[in-house]
């Protein structure tokens, strides 16, 4: 009986009269064809239907989720093997990898500091040596994860009016690509020791930094991009047009800035094998130092890199259409699912213009229902 009483109470709460919430004398209150109930309004609301679909199939949140592997150490036979693996990874491999990375920094700094200080009068030679040193240091980083990277396609070369674009899973994307070719990358400015490396060592290869929260930075970066691509001796330019790290299952919208430069676009597809470790960096939940430690205590980082066929803007094609076409190519090669989301929504709320548009659609549906009644 209590359950039936609760059900009747809930039903009566839903059968509220919309007329009670409308101004007195409105045309809806004067209708005599029947009473408009709240349940009627909910039934015809496309906005609520869209919200329900978003809850059931939330592809935006899925883009930035790290999917933990299925546990396999679930019985008495496998658990000892798992314990042995933990001992090997943390007590044997990890110290060796720390030693490798430390040795790499010693070699790199002992060569980079003199070259950077003593060859300021000979820029061409200095840049060439610094480029080789940065590639070497990135190779030490990859070795510290026992990186198994397979490159497909021709190695990038230095040419004017050429931009490389790639999907983005972690900051290690840059390191993996940089060990092959010293790119000048466009990247978010980071705090801590990563920011120190950005403002000192990586400046030497022509990298460009920005802060996504500063509107003025966009104009400055756009000008630097145009100047860089016109230089014949500048390092190849690398851009991650998604603007944020995505979990290597999905591909979010590409920003159109790289596709407005009038340059040849060279797509690069990166796909990680998660058999040993998930390379996705969720910057909102862990620092880059923690992310590196996670990689260094895993068995290995395994990935494939494809340098794909260069693309040019077709006649009558807009930069946005060009960006989508390149995204199709990368997503197909890397096996990524395309979703129509702006990755910057990860850091900010939807714009007032977007919210007002949704409110307008909802208001129009309500008015149409009132007119029907």
List per-residue pLDDT tens for the chain, 373 residues long: 444 444 444 444 444 444 444 445 544 444 444 555 555 555 555 656 666 555 545 667 777 787 777 777 778 888 888 899 999 999 999 999 999 999 999 999 999 999 988 888 787 888 889 889 999 999 999 999 999 999 999 888 778 788 999 999 999 999 999 999 889 888 877 777 887 887 788 877 888 877 766 666 677 777 888 888 877 778 889 999 998 899 999 999 998 888 988 889 999 999 999 888 889 998 888 888 999 999 999 999 999 999 999 999 999 999 999 999 999 999 999 999 998 887 777 666 666 666 677 677 767 776 776 666 5
Q: What angle do CA 5, 8, 9 make, to 5 degrees?
A: 85
Tokens, residue 30: 């004067």
**Do strands 237-239 and 162-166 pair parallel, antiparallel, or not at all (unpaired)?**
parallel
Distance from chain centroid for Cα 51: 24
Integer-rounded Cα Rg, in Å, for the chain is 27
**Do strands 301-307 and 264-273 pair parallel, antiparallel, or not at all (unpaired)?**
antiparallel
Mark out the alpha helices in the chain (DSSP H runs): 2-14, 38-43, 46-56, 59-62, 79-88, 94-118, 123-144, 172-178, 192-199, 215-230, 288-296, 319-334, 352-372
Question: Is-contact 251 327, C-beta < 8 A?
Answer: yes
Rounded Cα distance, 77 and 44, in Å = 57
Rounded Cα distance, 348 and 341, in Å = 13
Distance from chain centroid for Cα 78: 36
């Amino acid at each position: 009986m209590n359950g039936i009483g609760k059900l009747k109470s809930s039903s009566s709460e839903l059968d509220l009269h919309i007329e009670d919430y409308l101004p007195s004398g409105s045309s809806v209150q004067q209708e005599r064809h029947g009473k408009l109930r709240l349940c009627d309004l909910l039934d015809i609301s496309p906005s609520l239907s869209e919200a329900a679909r978003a809850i059931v199939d939330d592809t935006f949140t899925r883009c930035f989720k790290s999917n933990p592997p299925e546990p396999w150490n679930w019985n008495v036979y496998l658990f000892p093997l798992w314990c042995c693996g933990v001992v090997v990874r943390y007590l044997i491999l990890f110290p060796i990898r720390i030693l490798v990375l430390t040795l790499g920094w010693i070699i790199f700094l002992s060569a980079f500091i003199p070259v950077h200080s003593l060859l300021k009068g000979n820029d061409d030679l200095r840049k060439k040596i610094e480029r080789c040193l940065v590639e070497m240091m990135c190779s030490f980083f990859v070795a510290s994860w026992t990186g198994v990277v397979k490159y497909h396609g021709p190695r990038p070369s230095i040419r004017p009016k050429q931009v490389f674009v790639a999907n983005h899973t972690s900051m290690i994307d840059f390191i993996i690509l940089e060990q092959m070719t010293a790119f000048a990358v466009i990247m978010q400015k980071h705090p801590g020791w990563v920011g120190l490396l950005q403002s000192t060592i990586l400046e030497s290869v022509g990298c460009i930094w920005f802060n996504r929260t500063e509107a003025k930075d966009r104009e400055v970066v756009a000008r630097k991009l145009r100047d860089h691509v016109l230089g014949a001796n500048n390092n190849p330019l690398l851009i991650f047009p998604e603007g944020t790290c995505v979990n290597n299952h999905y591909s979010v919208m590409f920003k159109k800035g790289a596709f407005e430069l009038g340059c040849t676009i060279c797509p690069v597809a990166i796909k990680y094998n998660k058999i040993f470790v998930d390379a996705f960096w969720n910057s909102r939940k862990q620092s880059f130092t923690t992310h590196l430690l996670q990689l260094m205590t895993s068995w290995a980082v395994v990935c494939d890199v494809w340098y794909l066929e260069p693309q040019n803007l077709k006649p009558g094609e807009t930069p946005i259409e060009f960006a989508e076409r390149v995204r199709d190519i990368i997503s197909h090669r890397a096996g990524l699912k395309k979703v129509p989301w702006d990755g910057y929504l990860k850091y900010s709320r939807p714009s007032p213009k977007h919210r007002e548009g949704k409110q307008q659609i909802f208001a129009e549906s309500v008015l149409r229902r009132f007119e029907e009644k």
